[in-house]
């Protein structure tokens, strides 16, 4: 795991398939090694609400084994990244800027971005902010118009508990941290990490997201030209299949794949991992369209050199 800084906050990320990042807070590898890694079909994986990059580790390893440079990121307030208690620091737009800042830090000109739930909406914000930096999108379980009521019903009690029951939630977090990680399977630890976190920052995070923009408006989504693979499933009020289906009709270069369940990619990943890997093969096989101009930099320091051409074509 490595780190970089964005707007005064430290963000954690891990690379798979591009060579090991250096440990510590300096944020990774040398410039030459970083540019070599960046040439290897980068795909950035974004986690769900209150989860961490660990949820995508098995997928990142599988995609790296198929020739991709997979990168997992802890968005602010999650995992090993900083967790400030300032509500104003958390928004979908700021999360999109963190993704672009990570690309700037790693000197990646273009990447595929995959997000799940919160990460899916963040990926859509990246398409709004800097479409020329995207080679493709993988959107799993987006939360759009039809999922707003389900999200409010599911997460409002948790937000209230984290905010007004903080002393009790702190005791629960302390008890959860006492459970050895070795006794739980990977999926169990991913879910248990939600309880292990200190409640104050989690409350601020949820309030910041709940009272801000959820995703780009459908009128804007219709203008997105980025190739998109959308994964949706039924029987989930927070991530209804109707949202995935609507998104597939709105975005002109989208393809919809129906998952068997909420957890198929986690417990029986072969089929959906194959769909994602094939989609990545397709987008990197195509010659990218030349952008008229690049988006303003939002990330960490970058060496003063001419912008690199897109790789992987």
Cβ within 8 Å of residue 40, ≥6 positions away: 17, 18, 67, 68, 69, 312
Q: What are phi and psi of 243, to 5 degrees?
A: -70, -45
**pTM for the complete prediction?**
0.85
Q: Which pLDDT score is estimated for 190?
A: 83
Inform me whether the pLDDT recorded for 156 exceeds 50: yes
Q: Which pLDDT score is estimated for 38?
A: 46
Inform me whether the pLDDT recorded for 303 exceeds 80: no
- Locate the DSSP E strands across 66-194: 69-73, 111-116, 134-140
- Locate the DSSP E strands across 190-264: 228-232, 254-258
Percent of the chain whose pLDDT exceeds 70: 85
Inform me whether the pLDDT recorded for 51 exceeds 80: yes
Q: What are phi and psi of 108, to 5 degrees?
A: -100, 120
What is the average pLDDT score of the chain?
87
In contact, 126 and 120? CB cutoff 8 Å: no
Q: Which CATH superfamily is domain 2-146+211-285 in?
A: Alpha/Beta hydrolase fold, catalytic domain (3.40.50.1820)
- What secondary structure letter does DSSP report for 12? E
Lowest mean pLDDT: which of 119-128, 226-235, 297-306?
A: 297-306
Cα three-residue angle 38-43-46, rounded to 5 degrees: 130
Rounded distance, CA 222 to CA 138, Å?
Answer: 16
Q: Which pLDDT score is estimated for 18?
A: 57
Residue 184 has, within 13 A of its CA and on its CB side, a CA count of 14
Q: Per-residue b/e over 175-214, b at no fewer than 16 CB within 10 Å?
A: eeeeeeeeeeeeeebbeebbbbbbbbbbbbbbbbbeeeeb
In contact, 111 and 43? CB cutoff 8 Å: yes
Which tokens sit at 107? 């000197």
Lowest mean pLDDT: which of 12-26, 70-84, 123-137?
A: 12-26
Residue 170: pLDDT band by 50, 70, 90 thresholds?
confident
> Judging by beta carbons within 10 Å of its beta carbon (0-12, 13-18, 19+), is residue 250 exposed, middle or buried?
middle
Rounded distance, CA 109 to CA 112, Å?
Answer: 11
Residue 244: pLDDT band by 50, 70, 90 thresholds?
very high
Inform me whether the pLDDT recorded for 186 exceeds 90: no
Rounded distance, CA 43 to CA 229, Å?
Answer: 13
102 three-state secondary structure: helix
Q: Which pLDDT score is estimated for 235?
A: 87
Lowest mean pLDDT: which of 79-93, 120-134, 160-174?
A: 160-174
Inform me whether the pLDDT recorded for 273 exceeds 90: yes
Inform me whether the pLDDT recorded for 221 exceeds 60: yes
Q: Which pLDDT score is estimated for 27?
A: 43
Other C-beta atoms lying within 10 Å of the C-beta of residue 248: 17
Rounded distance, CA 275 to CA 264, Å?
Answer: 13
């Amino acid at each position: 795991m490595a780190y970089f800084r964005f707007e005064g906050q430290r963000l954690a990320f891990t690379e798979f398939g591009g060579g090991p990042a250096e440990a510590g807070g300096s944020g990774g590898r040398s410039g030459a090694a970083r540019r070599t890694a960046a040439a290897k079909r980068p795909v950035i994986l974004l986690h769900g609400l209150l989860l961490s990059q660990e949820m995508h580790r098995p997928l990142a390893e599988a995609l790296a084994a198929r020739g991709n440079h997979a990168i997992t990121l802890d968005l602010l307030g999650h995992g090993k990244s900083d967790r400030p208690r300032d509500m104003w620091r958390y928004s979908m737009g700021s999360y999109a800027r963190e993704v672009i800042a990570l690309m700037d830090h790693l000197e990646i000109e273009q990447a595929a971005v995959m997000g799940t739930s919160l990460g899916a909406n963040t990926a859509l914000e990246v398409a709004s902010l800097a479409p020329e930096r995207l080679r493709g999108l993988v959107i799993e379980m987006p939360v759009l118009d039809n999922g707003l009521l389900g999200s409010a019903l599911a997460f409002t009690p948790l937000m209230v508990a984290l905010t007004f029951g903080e002393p009790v939630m702190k005791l629960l977090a302390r008890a959860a941290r006492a459970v050895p990680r070795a006794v739980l399977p990977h999926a169990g630890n991913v879910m248990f990490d939600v309880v292990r976190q200190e409640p104050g920052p989690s409350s601020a995070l949820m309030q910041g997201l709940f009272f801000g923009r959820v995703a780009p408006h459908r009128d804007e989504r219709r203008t997105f030209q980025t190739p998109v693979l959308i994964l949706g499933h039924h029987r989930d009020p927070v991530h209804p299949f109707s949202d995935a289906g609507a998104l597939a009709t709105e975005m002109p270069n989208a393809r919809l794949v129906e998952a068997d369940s909420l957890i198929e990619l986690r417990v029986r990943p072969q089929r959906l991992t194959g769909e994602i890997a094939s989609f990545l093969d397709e987008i990197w096989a195509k010659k990218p369209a030349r952008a008229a101009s690049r988006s303003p930099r939002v990330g960490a320091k970058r060496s003063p050199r001419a912008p690199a051409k897109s790789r992987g074509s």
